Amino acid sequence: MTSFGSSPLEPDLAKLIVQTLKLKIDPASVQPEAPLFGEGLGLDSIDALELALAISQTYGYQLKSSDPEIKTIFFSLRALANAVEKHRTK
């Protein structure tokens, strides 16, 4: 079982990722520090768009591809949770 230490949003975001992208994995198996793209969960740019939309609808945080920090934000579940926590409006 994964320990969600850094951010209380990690379990919720893991569920959101799995549900939004219809992944056939247990949200608890998403490692907080593992990359979301490539070697980690293997997400792609279409997944990023879907996820950004779901995050916007759920948390009110607009993720833009033009943001110079976007790759850092989407690097891992932990990085994403920390960014959402800082910028959420709902």
pLDDT tens digit sequence for 71-86: 999 999 999 999 999 9
Is the pLDDT at 55 greater than 60? The verdict is yes
- pLDDT for res 6: 64
Q: What is the mean pLDDT of residues 50-60?
A: 97
Q: What is the pLDDT of the chain when averaged over all its residues?
A: 91
Q: Please, which pLDDT band fits residue 8 given cuts at 50, 70 and 90?
A: confident
**Domain coordinates in residue numbering, the chain:** 32-90
Identify any residues that bridge with 43 across adjacent strands, giving them in sequence order. Answer: 37
Rounded-to-integer distance, Cα 88 and Cα 61, Å: 5
**Directed axis angle between helix 45-59 and helix 77-87, to 10°?**
40
Amino acid, res. 72: T
Question: For residues 41 and 31, what is the distance between their CA atoms, to the nearest angstrom?
Answer: 9
